[in-house]
Structure 1
Amino acid sequence: MTFARASTAAILDQDAHLIQSFADLNALKAQGARTVISRAEGAYVYDNDGQKMIDGIAGLWCVNIGHGRREMIEAIANQLQTLDYYSTFYNFTHPTAAALSQKLAELAPGDLNAVYFGNSGSVANDSAIRILHHYNIRKGRPNKLKVLSRHGAYHGSTHLSMAMTTPGYSEGWTAASELVHHLRAPHHWREGGEMTEAEFLDALALDLSQSIDRIGAENICAFIAEPIQGAGGVIAAPQGYHRRMQEICRAHDIKYIADEVVTAFGRLGHFFASEAVFDTTPDIINTAKGLTSGYQPMSATIVSDEIHDVISGPDGMFLHGMTYSGHPAAAAAALTNIAIMEREAIPERVRTTGAYFERKLRGLSDIELVGEVRGSHFMIGIEFVKDRTTKESHPAEVEVGLKVARACQKRGLIARPLGNVLILSPTLIMDEAMIDEIEGILREAITEVAAGL
């Protein structure tokens, strides 16, 4: 079955019934507020009227190998022809989920050898906490349930994962906030004041230690952290932060969860960034997005042997599961995605091209509107300021990030606005020429907006 392409006007009429994620639903009613993406290939997407644009956000941090890969599409179709659906519930499994669980155990660091599949990063993070609650109950510690997260974090949109997300995302909503305590944001440029980076790291470590003392280690099951905070503004913590935090957690028998929903599968140059980049071996790693490069919805919660031994012991009934956990087509997509990345050495290439991307975008700091360019490799945030000396931001109603994003889009680049920050997280297949083009578009767009302000 094929679908004829409707006119943009007709699609937008239909779209009036669609509740879009993380959008100002009232503002979307305005003429021209929505963009219809109808086709994609490689590093590019096309709107319904034919405009070609560089996908500077890889869909949503996820299309790592690029759009329209025939090998991926054929693998998914072939799997559907063989086994369209069966669950990994009860005593059932299937070859593709089994093979993928083994492959992820091989790729993950340390003794993270047991894999639970879900269908989103939110579910992966939510599942990690449910598993640890169950783990502690089985160990006779029913009060060890609370979670340490951080201001600036983003861990998802379920009731629990939203509670672990920075509080600003819960404004006007509810979340399971009674379970979560938020530590200081690890953003030296904004939060460090006159401290050196090393002094700021000491302050962050003290904040963690004092929080544990106040809440009680006997009440805390986990500390959860993104290696680089993503939707909180692309915030990279001071060097040595993750190892320092993990050491404190280990000393208090608190599990360390790495939310690698964004950073895994090549974005920072490795299949997993925790050990290779940040010198940590978490107790749990959560991933999604780049796991299938967005071709199918899938996530994985990868847990240590020690945790798995406890939850799989005598009377080890695992009362947690999703209908689509380990879906055959999603598992086939993930296996094919990993095979492509290995064959084409995409993570290894990112160590060069991603470093070039980072270097080129950091060069935008010579524009007065740019306060800070931060992040690493193909995960960059550009923060705009009213005054570079005081770091004063423009008022929210000025919508600087949105203005720059719109100026980029009309020049053929999709970037993500987040208040006064612009986020770039492109596909991982770009070469230096395309990176130069992105830098040029950004420079023109930022200069245009700055002149208008």
Structure 2
Amino acid sequence: MWQKDKDHFIHPFTDFSVFHEEGCELITDSDGIYVEDSRGNRFIDGIAGLWCVNVGHGRAEIGQAMADQATRMAYFSTFNNLSNAPAAELSAKLAELAPSHLNHVFYSCGGSTANDATIRLVHYYFNRLGKPNKKRIISRNNAYHGTTYLAATLTGIESNNWAFDTLDHLVTHLSEANCYRRPEGMSEAEYCDHLVEEFEDTVAEIGADNIAAFIAEPIMGAGGVLVAPTGYHKRMQAVCRANEILYIADEVVTGFGRLGHFFASEAVFETQPDIINCAKGLSSGYAPLGATLISDEIYEVLGTPQGKGGVLSTGFTYSGHPVSCAAALKSIEIIEREAICENVREVGPYLERQLKTLGHHATVGNVRGSHFMMCLENVADKDTKALLPVEARVGDRIAFEAQKRGLIIRPVGHLNVISPTLIWTRETVDTAVAILDEALSAATESLQRDGFL
């Protein structure tokens, strides 16, 4: 299996400097908070697959729901005048869970395609309003919105697009909201003012008549689990409202319980987005599925016929796939029945506190995040916040040492991300943090031995 994988599978985000020799670790089994590799080693899953296995691994009832649907009717087109029961039921359930004005759902196959489809719909919306110049999308540096062509352009992580082409004429990036690296001497409140003013200046420079939407993750995920200053999202939305710019919340990561609520935009950040995009935790990763939740106001325009025979001519073969929708319905049922959002609200702050005890390690400059979405930023010097050289591979070292001890975390350059399944208990937190404590000590020793510290 290892050889077949190495010879034939092109993995997303492959590091080819080591892949040709080392290949990949094959994960073959899973159960609850654990995964197991092909050699029988068992690990606590500290990244929920990839931000997504919210209800935990091996949920037989999700598998059964998928099997029942697949054997009854695995697939049929949802184009034109056709539909299926799971897609209809899930649409109604999402409208119930989302902020009250978001009552319409457009399905795709994941987070990238959800964001891509959303921008296409936004442009169509303004075309229908007779405002064809409103095309520019405002995103942010270090944002992650996917890797399809347009979604990759929305993404503001520079390394993601090395040697790839992007549609730069459509997207402008603002500064990320990085409280840890805000200008020296600037308070958090002043930093918020600074970021909002940058947005206002950008709108004035480009012209509101040329800007269609602002897109933002409530908390940045792959860009470093960046939590914006208090009030930031609410104020950014106010700028949007004042300039007829749509506010798009990318809740692909934050949705379905990761911050203790099905959707974080309104419940946590007091915003009412015009559009919310979701994926990942929507089906707990059991089947590919993305969704764009659209406001009543936007739908009124989208749902108005262009003329006789006019259709909304966009969508996917697998839009509203019945097996994926069945998986999502069962995952949502489990989240509600087992009070998983309540578990996150109770255990999440404990995870935050325990991770912050790791600040005594030489490399840990910042521990940040919220609830089950956390990050360690590793530095060479805590006073200057200077980074270690890239060749030190500090994030990889720490992740390797943690995995040796039975915990999988995610290295992203000099960062380590912890985004576990949402069924962790306080006892699981204690075990994971103890492993991280040992891993950080071992990584520090190796960095010192190799002359990086």
Fold match (TM-score > 0.5): yes
Tell me how far 1:322 sits from its aligned partner. 0.6
Name the SS for the 2:356 alignment partner.
helix
Corresponding position of 1:241: 232
**Structure 2 residue 115 is the aligned partner of structure 1 residue 125:** yes
Indicate conservation of the 8 Å contact 2:6/2:24, yes or no. no
Separation (CA, whole Å) in 1 of partners of 2:168 and 2:376: 30
Name the SS for the 2:54 alignment partner.
coil
Q: Which of 125, 129, 133 is equivalent to 1:139?
A: 129
Indicate conservation of the 8 Å contact 2:6/2:20, yes or no. no
Corresponding position of 1:309: 300
Separation (CA, whole Å) in 2 of partners of 1:365 and 1:132: 44
Segments of 4+ in structure 1 off by > 2 A? 10-15
Separation (CA, whole Å) in 1 of partners of 2:210 and 2:391: 41
**Structure 2 residue 76 is the aligned partner of structure 1 residue 99:** no
Give the residue type in structure 2 aligned to 1:162.
A
Give the residue type in structure 2 aligned to 1:226.
E
Q: Which of 400, 420, 434 is equivalent to 2:428?
A: 434
Q: 1:306 to 1:17 in 2, by over 3 A?
A: same
Q: Which of 264, 286, 291 is equivalent to 2:282?
A: 291
Corresponding position of 1:408: 402
**Structure 2 residue 98 is the aligned partner of structure 1 residue 108:** yes
Corresponding position of 1:6: none
Moved more, 114-123 or 168-177: 168-177
Residues matched between the structures, number: 443
Give the residue type in structure 2 aligned to 1:56.
G
Q: Which of 36, 51, 65 is equivalent to 1:46?
A: 36
TM score, norm. by length of structure 1: 0.96
Corresponding position of 2:171: 180
Separation (CA, whole Å) in 1 of partners of 2:21 and 2:384: 36
Q: Percent identity?
A: 50
Give the residue type in structure 1 aligned to 2:35.
V
Name the SS for the 1:303 alignment partner.
strand
Name the SS for the 1:236 alignment partner.
coil
Q: Which runs of 5+ in 1 are unaligned?
A: 1-9
Q: Which of 186, 190, 196 is equivalent to 1:195?
A: 186
Indicate conservation of the 8 Å contact 2:29/2:36, yes or no. yes
Name the SS for the 1:30 alignment partner.
helix
**Structure 2 residue 417 is the aligned partner of structure 1 residue 423:** yes
Separation (CA, whole Å) in 2 of partners of 1:167 and 1:43: 30
TM score, norm. by length of structure 2: 0.96
Give the residue type in structure 2 aligned to 1:66.
G
Indicate conservation of the 8 Å contact 1:19/1:25, yes or no. no
Corresponding position of 2:450: none
Corresponding position of 1:445: 439
Q: Which of 146, 155, 165 is equivalent to 1:165?
A: 155
Indicate conservation of the 8 Å contact 1:110/1:281, yes or no. no
Corresponding position of 1:86: 76
Q: Which of 358, 375, 385 is equivalent to 1:381?
A: 375
Corresponding position of 2:451: none
Give the residue type in structure 1 aligned to 2:279.
A
Separation (CA, whole Å) in 1 of partners of 2:163 and 2:179: 29
Q: Which runs of 5+ in 2 are unaligned?
A: 448-453
Give the residue type in structure 2 aligned to 1:84.
A
Corresponding position of 2:66: 76
Separation (CA, whole Å) in 2 of partners of 1:153 and 1:338: 27
Separation (CA, whole Å) in 2 of partners of 1:71 and 1:304: 32
Q: Which of 233, 246, 253 is equivalent to 1:255?
A: 246
Aligned residue runs from structure 1 range 31-42, under 5 A: 31=22, 33-42=23-32
**Structure 2 residue 214 is the aligned partner of structure 1 residue 223:** yes
Tell me how far 1:14 sits from its aligned partner. 4.0
Indicate conservation of the 8 Å contact 1:114/1:304, yes or no. yes
